[in-house]
A and B are shown apart, each in its own frame.
Chain A
Amino acid sequence: EDQVTQSPEALRLQEGESSSLNCSYTVSGLRGLFWYRQDPGKGPEFLFTLYSAGEEKEKERLKATLTKKESFLHITAPKPEDSATYLCAVSGGAQKLVFGQGTRLTINP
Chain B
Amino acid sequence: NAGVTQTPKFQVLKTGQSMTLQCAQDMNHEYMSWYRQDPGMGLRLIHYSVGAGITDQGEVPNGYNVSRSTTEDFPLRLLSAAPSQTSVYFCASSSLSGNTIYFGEGSWLTVV
A residues bordering B, Cβ < 8 Å?
4, 31-32, 34, 36, 41-46, 49, 87, 89, 91, 94-102
CB distance from B36 to the nearest CB of A (A): 11
CB distance from A59 to the nearest CB of B (A): 13
B27-67: CB near A (< 8 Å → 1, else 0) gives: 00001010100001111110010100000001100000000
Additional 9 contacts, C-beta under 8 A, given A96-B33, A97-B33, A99-B44: A36-B103, A43-B105, A46-B100, A87-B43, A91-B98, A95-B94, A95-B101, A99-B35, A100-B42
B100 partner residues in chain A, CB cutoff 8 A: 46, 49
A32 partner residues in chain B, CB cutoff 8 A: 98-99
**From DSSP, what is the main secondary structure of chain A's interface residues?**
strand
CB atoms of A95 and B103 under 8 A apart: no
CB distance from A22 to the nearest CB of B (A): 15
CB distance from B32 to the nearest CB of A (A): 9
**From DSSP, what is the main secondary structure of chain B's interface residues?**
strand
* B29 (CB) vs chain A CBs: closest residue: A95
CB atoms of A44 and B99 under 8 A apart: no
| 23 A–B pairs (Cβ distance < 8 Å), ordered by A | A32-B98, A32-B99, A34-B101, A43-B4, A43-B106, A45-B103, A46-B103, A87-B42, A87-B43, A95-B33, A95-B92, A95-B101, A96-B33, A97-B33, A97-B92, A97-B101, A99-B42, A99-B43, A99-B44, A100-B42, A101-B40, A101-B41, A102-B42
CB distance from A32 to the nearest CB of B (A): 6
B102 partner residues in chain A, CB cutoff 8 A: 46
Bound-state Cα–Cα, A98 to B35, Å: 10
CB atoms of B99 and A49 under 8 A apart: yes
CB distance from B68 to the nearest CB of A (A): 14
